[in-house]
Amino acid sequence: MAVRTLTELLEGAFPGDEVSVEDRTGGGDHFQVTVVSPRFDGLSLVEQHRLVYDALAAPLADGTIHELRISTKGTP
Amino acid sequence: MRDEIKDVIETSEVALFMKGTPQFVMCGNSQRALEALRRAGAPVTAVDILPDPRIRQELSAISGWPTIPQVFVRGELIGGADIVEELERSGELERTLREKLGDDLSGEERIVPVV
């Protein structure tokens, strides 16, 4: 269920971009998220990850996400 | 406490805020960041955030970064475990360290308390 919530939040923040969320342990609190978006073009990795954190601010703050791995890519 | 955290960030060559200590790491992501920094020869000043929940709150308020670990080089946020590993893969981690700290990377580790 959390995977769907996270996916929806990311799709809302990155409309039309490639978004995937994987539950790494099956426990519903360790996630790998991958976002490919032209919004990352020209941004540093810190700036790219900040955009993902912004999108997931709520589940990060309320403890839904215990561990988060992020992979971001701009468009080629 | 906020001033002490800021002081560590600003005065350390490489500051690593982590769960546990380099000798006894308490979290996989902290381990990943520490190992990447070690492989690059970084002189790491480690702060264990676990002794007091306020450390993490104050740190995130300063950096605007919500997760642990957090790595700073000469006061600048480099990122968490994913970014540090990615920078290592691309060779940029060692390049940045040499650029900012010089070619003579000591790889020395120390632990400082902020409480």
For B91, counting Cβ atoms within 10 Å of its Cβ (0-12 exposed, 13-18 middle, 19+ buried), the class is: exposed
Res. A20: pLDDT tops 90: yes
Interface probe with A: pick from B73, B83, B90, most Cβ of A within 10 Å: B83
Please list the ranges in chain B whose pLDDT falls under 50: none
Cα nearest neighbour of B84 on chain A = A45
Which CATH number belongs to the domain containing residue B10 in this structure?
3.40.30.10
State the total domains in chain B. Answer: 1
Res. A11: pLDDT tops 70: yes
Domain with B107, as residue range(s), is: 2-111
Cα nearest neighbour of B83 on chain A = A45
Task: Work out the percent of chain A whose per-residue pLDDT is above 90.
Answer: 80
Q: Are B78 and B71 in contact (CB under 8 A)?
A: yes
Q: Which residues of A touch B57 (CB under 8 A)?
A: none
Which residue reads 């190992």 in tokens? B35
What's residue B115's pLDDT? 82
Q: Are B10 and B63 in contact (CB under 8 A)?
A: no
Give helix then strand counts, H and E, for chain B: 5, 7
Q: Give ipTM to 2 decimals.
A: 0.90
- Would you list which residues of chain A are within 8 Å, Cβ to Cβ, of chain B? 45-46, 49-50, 53, 57, 60-61, 67-71
Q: Are A49 and A72 in contact (CB under 8 A)?
A: yes
Res. A1: pLDDT tops 80: no
CA distance B78 to A36: 21
Q: Which residues of B touch A46 (CB under 8 A)?
A: 77-79, 83
pTM of whole model > 0.90? yes
DSSP state for residue A14 in the 8-state scheme: S
Which residue reads 């940045």 in tokens? B96
Domain with A12, as residue range(s), is: 2-73
| CB hemisphere CA count around A23 (13 angstroms) | 12
Which CATH number belongs to the domain containing residue A16 in this structure?
3.30.300.90
Give the pLDDT band (50/70/90) at residue A63. confident
State the total domains in chain A. Answer: 1
